[in-house]
Amino acid sequence: YNQFTGKLPTELGHLTAFKLSFDFSNQLLSGAIPTQLGRMTTIYKVFRLSANRFTRAIPTQLGRFTKLHIGFKLNNNDICGEVPTEVQALSNNVNNYWQVTTGNDIGTDCPSLPTQPPTMVPETSSPTLGPTATVVPTLAPTYCGPGFFEDYDSDGTGRGCVLCPMGKSNGLQSAPICTVCGAGKIAAQEGSVSCELCPGGRFNADTDATDASRHDSVEDCTESPAGYTPNAARTSYEKCVSPFTRRYSDACEALHYMNEDGECASCPEGTNCNSVGNEMGSLWIKAGHFRTVPSSSEVYPCMFEKAACLG
């Protein structure tokens, strides 16, 4: 039993091959939920951050957990704003535990982020001038970090540090501009430090990289046609290799099913896999057969009381 405090590290988003359950519930974690967690698209059991002190809105990127089928819990935090459509859609696949609004401030506007007050230069006296000389207060220099760009006029006035708009990103300090995402990538929220690849099964072929509106939403990523899969850069698509019918979309050919490693495996004896897109948890067990749990690929014939094994 741990009791972690502080912010959840954004580096956890690099665990892109993580498959089972992601659970940091009942801790003392605070701050916003990192958008980078949306890269962990292979999680298929449970995603749980309940009973913490998370604030701000639910990141749209969490809607990429399309393999999730057991539990999604963000309850008992201080989360505000609306539930993104992409995240709400996950509830159609989650079988057991879906808890998002309970114990949160869902439906209320998130408070504005606090702004840093200007640093004032104190009044000083000049020892050489005799009378006290008052120095006019001036603003301390401001340096904009990643996810922002500097918007200053020649006289030092202007909007200051401005969030990168959707469809653009910046990973540098004191950058004068944010850059439009390239082909295969999007930035679906303001203040992106980097652009992210289109989610599984989709691609973006816009190589001009001049129009941010073509890179500011998941909808800007086109779904690959049946029988094809996006390339690694998500800039185009290529023909799938059997037994996949559409890789990254949990679709295997008939007589195969998607196992826990995201691979198409031959259906075990005692199952009915005549359709396309079978998954381990939803394998159709034939009458006269059984398995111990839905997550098992081991199917056994009923030796006694066959009438009780309805499949």
- Per the model's pLDDT, the better-predicted residue between 133 and 81 turns out to be 81
Give the number of other Cβ atoms within 10 Å of residue 156's Cβ. 11
Tens of pLDDT, residue by residue over 173-231, are 888 899 999 999 999 998 899 999 998 778 999 998 899 999 999 999 998 887 777 88
DSSP at 39 = G
The model's pTM = 0.40
Mean pLDDT of 62-82: 92
pLDDT at site 138: 36
Tens of pLDDT, residue by residue over 275-306, are 887 888 888 888 888 888 888 888 888 877 66
Rg (alpha carbons) of the chain, rounded to whole number: 26
pLDDT at site 209: 86
Question: Percentage helix, strand, coil, to 5, in the chain?
Answer: 10, 25, 65
Average predicted confidence (pLDDT) for the chain: 81
Tens of pLDDT, residue by residue over 239-280, are 776 666 554 444 677 888 887 776 778 899 989 988 887 888
Spatial CB neighbours of 122, under 8 Å, sequence gap ≥ 6:
none
